[in-house]
Structure 1
């Protein structure tokens, strides 16, 4: 429920809880903004056909979690206090009849469940002592890292085992990489529309971020060069392989140009390649073009199975000791059981099998989406995990997200991916990894119908998507 205000009779029971959820959703999608005044308890109760007590209880819940504030004599307002940025995905509970295409995951079926069950059964009878008993990363993960080299080669990265750190997924790897090449106060350049967790992590580490303008291939080399010429930049954090919010993929020339700028200005590069080898014929990673200054990470959760939190961080040899120490300080070591599962899947061929399955499934879904969306402008990698649909005006984004939710579809708004207001590209991110094929196709139909249909009174206008 994200339409604001809700329609009378649409709130389920208990009404106060669903009213509170509707207000939260409206705030997260931008339908309600910081400082907006909410209706009085009595006004909203009259509008929705509820009791004043029900509205009061919903408001009290939101005041308690600091989403709204009540000011004596003035009314109730959306909080303007600094809060952690809302995630791009929406809150969808099991009892809600909503197709969730807001969460970025690979496609998962009974095949994946069966493969995991088989692996766990095999581990029960033959589990290495180091996995259970070692409290030190080296003994626990030495064999896992050797196996990881095979997976990294599939990602296009060749390196030595001493330069690989096992992590609990890509988020842990990102933290270790940034803390290995920056200190508090440093400036890090990144995509204007990039990784939604990076700003929060940067604030935690005391780092400053600079937004770089983007085109269809991602960040512009001349923009990076101009920034580095004007001020001291310590590192570049980038996602060149299509997983940034705008689904931009760098070609070979762009990657070479970015590496040339980095060398000229002495920049370190942190390369996020969380999707790994989903695209079979892709340009070589930055880590192979500028290995002396690139910290590269990938993982298994985005391309094989969401719950398989296994990541691999590759660092230049001169930074190996520092990076290992940062990992010890932040996580101590990756979970050995997860590392064992990942290693077995790679060694036994399960990872290869599931990778090829995922590629085929994503290619089929992306082609279906392209055919169904037709003239509606959008961008996606051929086997990407999401589709970016740009919108013409920032104000349209919240309305579109709300309209889609009303029709039973949850998508991610573009706002959480923007580094600042100046770099904001309005649009929606539609994630294609929903478990059900039918649900995915229904979701695409809902989007295509909304964005190509006639305008409705009081709703978002017709042809609100961008045109070339």
Structure 2
């Protein structure tokens, strides 16, 4: 812990703002360096003759500004560049020189080109005026609800008693859901291996994020309940349907237990179902507890990357709050994209492309199963990626580096760690994005590395 302490004489009213400025100056002048631990709230309050609430408010403001980061059970630390989570995919320039299996994309072929050309020609002939001139979120309401209901029904969600917000894909929906479910300072729990942007997003929103241990079915109910008994939890962020990097699919029994815990402790659930109806499994959490689940999905990963259209389903009592936050952050979903989604869903194109996606991913899963025989890996049925375990952090990085030298980019498990990284080490390998020959070559290269160095997968 650093010995730094601001001069009490420089603290003026409002004290929390003055303390924020003092810490900001100390960081700028190098008196506080990245990684330095700030004094505990109570100690600093005692030394400066301030209330604990004043110090907490100052730390909260610094957290919101991204200057410090709080770690549950450890303290508050000055942020450095290393605190930003590395993206799990390679840059576009680098991707031109490697087989990029780091970025999750659906399998694309000429069918997608034909479908897009057809819908654009149709739109050129009969485009509703509201698509061009609509400037308010309610100006396309006659069309959007029906297409949204159809897509969500394919996902297993009945929107009869819930509000639906049309968004620009899952990223937008994810932000809106968290902003609706919680406020700055609230504690959010999630799987200890999860969405690669969640840690940064909650930090920017001033929320506290903590990972809870997962097993082969997802977040562990006993560990979750123990944490809920320690202090109030505002929301759970979960990826139960195979989209989690570890590739697990939560069983119906596990989902029921999680919902029971959420109800007993009055916790909201944000359910990430970004791959839509591509994955088929037990009913979503939103179907089990519609009164407390904020569910979002999109067409981006299951249909077409450029189709940035998503749907956020919220309980009735949160519908107005979600709509207001979407209005402030995005105003409305892009008209042209929502029109394409509407037409594809209503005329059956979306479901046809969905079935082609399932078939293509099944073919690729067969390749993985044949070449990865004997290896420790996880892959959800119809999933867009495979998780390949390693024995430790060092072996994970060695596998990433070796694959890269041999022309294949994969995502390191470190990009997805929210709890202790050593609990779940491995790599995520995307199954889509590449042509079938390139995909097969990439899988063969990785399988060859594992055959040459079997200790990389020694669990």
Query: When the two structures are superposed, what TM-score results if normalisation uses the length of structure 2?
Result: 0.81
Deviates more, 1:130-139 or 1:89-98: 89-98
Shift of 1:141: 3.8
Question: 1:166 is matched with which residue?
Answer: 166
Shift of 1:223: 1.1
Shift of 1:236: 0.3
C-alpha distance after superposition, 1:166-201 (max 9, x if no partner) = 000001001111111111000000010000010111
C-alpha distance after superposition, 1:260-308 (max 9, x if no partner) = 000000000000000111124x100000100100000000001000010
CA distance in 2, matches of 1:307, 1:99: 21
Matches within 5 A, 1:11-50: none
Q: Given that residues 418 and 424 in structure 1 are in contact (C-alpha distance below 8 angstroms), is that contact kept between their aligned partners in structure 2?
A: no
C-alpha distance after superposition, 1:82-106 (max 9, x if no partner) = 5522101122527843111000011
Matches within 5 A, 1:313-352: 313-352=312-351
CA distance in 2, matches of 1:188, 1:113: 41
| Alpha carbons of structure 1 residues 161 and 120: separation in structure 2 relative to 1, 3 Å | farther
| Alpha carbons of structure 1 residues 119 and 94: separation in structure 2 relative to 1, 3 Å | farther
CA distance in 2, matches of 1:81, 1:162: 41
| Alpha carbons of structure 1 residues 379 and 82: separation in structure 2 relative to 1, 3 Å | closer
| Alpha carbons of structure 1 residues 418 and 132: separation in structure 2 relative to 1, 3 Å | same
Question: 1:109 is matched with which residue?
Answer: 109
RMSD of the TM alignment (CA)? 1.7
Question: 2:126 is matched with which residue?
Answer: 126
Q: Given that residues 97 and 408 in structure 1 are in contact (C-alpha distance below 8 angstroms), is that contact kept between their aligned partners in structure 2?
A: yes
| 1:418 lines up with 2:417 in the alignment | yes
What residue ranges of structure 2 are gaps of 5+ in the alignment? Answer: 1-33, 36-78
Q: Given that residues 192 and 420 in structure 2 are in contact (C-alpha distance below 8 angstroms), is that contact kept between their aligned partners in structure 1?
A: no
1:298 counterpart SS class:
strand
CA distance in 2, matches of 1:466, 1:295: 39
Question: 2:5 is matched with which residue?
Answer: none
CA distance in 1, matches of 2:413, 2:213: 15
Q: Given that residues 92 and 100 in structure 1 are in contact (C-alpha distance below 8 angstroms), is that contact kept between their aligned partners in structure 2?
A: no
CA distance in 2, matches of 1:143, 1:95: 39
Question: 2:55 is matched with which residue?
Answer: none
What residue ranges of structure 1 are gaps of 5+ in the alignment? Answer: 1-33, 36-78, 456-461
| 1:137 lines up with 2:137 in the alignment | yes
Question: 1:236 is matched with which residue?
Answer: 236
Query: When the two structures are superposed, what TM-score results if normalisation uses the length of structure 1?
Result: 0.79
Q: Given that residues 211 and 423 in structure 1 are in contact (C-alpha distance below 8 angstroms), is that contact kept between their aligned partners in structure 2?
A: no
Q: Given that residues 195 and 244 in structure 2 are in contact (C-alpha distance below 8 angstroms), is that contact kept between their aligned partners in structure 1?
A: yes
Match of 2:456 among 436, 453, 464: 464
Shift of 1:220: 0.5
Question: 1:72 is matched with which residue?
Answer: none
Q: Given that residues 415 and 424 in structure 1 are in contact (C-alpha distance below 8 angstroms), is that contact kept between their aligned partners in structure 2?
A: no
| Alpha carbons of structure 1 residues 292 and 366: separation in structure 2 relative to 1, 3 Å | same
CA distance in 1, matches of 2:195, 2:356: 27
CA distance in 2, matches of 1:142, 1:323: 20
2:300 counterpart SS class:
coil
